[in-house]
Structure 1
Amino acid sequence: MPKAMSYTKGSIIYFEGDTDDRVFILQKGHVVITTTDVETKLQTSEQIKQGEFFGVKSAIGHFPREETVMTLDEAVCISMSSLEFENLFSNNKQLIMKMLRVFSNQLRQIHKKTESVMNNNESFNQMDGLFGVAKAFYSDEKWQSCEDVCKIYLRLYPTEANNKELKEMLLKSNAYVKKGISSSTAAEEIAAVSGGGTSIKMFELPAFKRFQKTYENGQVIISEFERGETFYLIQSGNVQLTKCINESNKNLDILKPGEFFGEMAILDNTPRSATCVARGHVECLEFNKANFEMLITGNPQLALILLKIFCKRIYDQKRRLRILVISDPQARLADVFCMFNEMNPVTSTADRRRKFMVTESDIVHWSGLPAQTAKDELKRFVVSRKIEIYDTYIIVNNIADMQRIVESRSDQKK
């Protein structure tokens, strides 16, 4: 049951790195939250207003605390367990929409910081940005994806139908697609995501059939920079999230059955922040902007699932940002392996040999390094017998070696 907690001036409610499932509401006094900026390593502080929640993301996402919270004077906070918060959240429509918008904005800010770190200094308007996405897929020989984005571009900007470069990209992409070639690595992509998973049971009811959409490998479901009018729930298959950085597509994440995408543009009325591409056969439910709030507030369990997804994405994106701010190439690659180790924990720490179902290309993407630089550094790891690279997986012979490399070299900033 929620209870009031009294604190004296200068009390620490919790430290960064603590593991705690409590959520707090500031009832009286003043509280300051201190966080460490991932890029600059400098501390920033923000004061919490009375009536505001804090500690939500780490509590319901079951992650270590990302901030230290201290009282500035005598304060009273309402403390509740994550389960108690979930019950409160599920029954409060106003709180549901407020927290979803807050978390959506936090995730978008992390995406912007990621762009900045990856030296994306170009300032795009929506039209130029969408054209850049099409060019990136064209350069990568992702023919189906390129064709789809070109069509989206023409649908939004029909006056550009005579754009010579666009016509060339569309004609060539269309020719390959007609031959049954969606990309230069289509077979590899389909093999990499075979299997799938289970969907959320509540959406298997006949009433949801009218929302169902299907996509094949390489098809673009939504494109970065286009206006957001729909969001999606994956029922089967996998969806690749990519972001166009300096006319090159960078992988952000791979979404699996039961996950949402596209909801950020719905919540804050901004253009899409990433491109979502089908990997293999994908079935998903498409909902529009008009029924989003009704669907979310009318299904408390769905709203809670979406909130937890935001918590995980924010945590994961911050983790990836930590990789990108490492200037030393070997340390950055080593931290990619450390990230995969954190994502796939083992029960026994005695065996430090790890097998990750990723390819060399995956590691290159996650590192954010120029492809040749990353491949050269990976070869050095192979020569020194730190890793073994195979077609569909990579073995790290001692994950502690990777952790030591990160600790000894990652203090250098970009």
Structure 2
Amino acid sequence: MKFTIQRDRLVESLQDVMKAVSSRTTIPILTGVKLLVNDEGVTLTGSDSDISIETIIPTVEDDKVLAEVEKTGSIVLQARFFNDIIRKLPEDTVMIEVRENLQTFIKSGNAEFSINGLDADEYPRLPQIEEEEVFTLPIDLLKTMIRQTVFAVSTSETRPILTGVHWKIENNELTFVATDSHRLAWRKAPLDNNHSHTHNVVVPGKSLNELNKILDDSQEPIEMVLTQNQILFRTENLSFYSRLLEGNYPDTSRLIPAESKTEVVMNAKEFLQAIDRASLLAREGRNNVVKFSTIEEEAVEISSDSPEIGRVVEKVQTQSITGEELKISFSGKYLMDALKAIDSTDIRISFTGAMRPFVIRSLDNDFILQLILPVRTF
């Protein structure tokens, strides 16, 4: 195997596949990156058996030569060393050659490295996925949907199913739900093509976070293929495989109140900034509790106190308050996460009582919803 390649493009692809490489794997070869070189280009693969990422660097792209292949072949190289070497090479191009006994020679300018390779035939094969039904979304929409929900997954392994985002495909709509049992994030989007089947799967939050880091913002489509235990995300030069979580996701639809006793409409940015200020003191406490009270027709009071530090009180103007008077306490962090995810100028907050979950919706669209459980303090 011997080829010359643009160093910056190789660095970029390595950064992507490294997100799937774990140093703590029980399978030694998975600490490496697999390189497969053929006449079409250079394919890099990284995997930790939960996530597998494959990127392709074509020989020519947009009339620009990215790689010149002298001899095809494959090799597995230690990911950490290979990545560090390529990043620090002096020139814009790098030549890589596999010689006897899998010795791999790397040259760029006056810098030369020789590192031990591993037999690529020993590297596990990527999951074989039957493509019965392919779903597509614009990349930027998928990224937005992930960002608006994945923060609410559970970080505790006591209920593994809650560490993932529940995907439901029904009536040509894709719905994401994430909850850690203290809050819930819900986002819906229409699918472009007709899909007759209903699908329910749970995608690990870790996989979605890594996918979001790799994907560039673009309106290009991304294909998604589902099987019983795997999901594949595919763009022109990227394939991202993730295992699905096993088990049944809880029915979260009954958590969302159908009616409310108090409704507040206000500017999301002003509310977020007030909660942020109140959290400065709340953070010193163990649970970051902020108190919220309706005080007059068009204003609410945000307050927080820490016995060791002091107290903060702020009055925030609203656009409208309807229904019963209300005093409620909640996690400032959870509310800030929800407000950042909603991406809306104005929001409607619907309360059903001081000890019942409350719901935040965008005034602009009904495709997003955030739900938070209150904290008992009053």
Larger CA Rg, structure 1 vs 2? 2
For the criterion TM > 0.5, the same-fold answer is: no
Higher share of residues assigned strand: 2
Q: TM-score range by the shorter chain?
A: under 0.3
TM-score (ref. length: structure 1): 0.23
Higher share of residues assigned helix: 1
Which structure carries more relative contact order (alpha carbon 8 Å, separation 6+)? 1
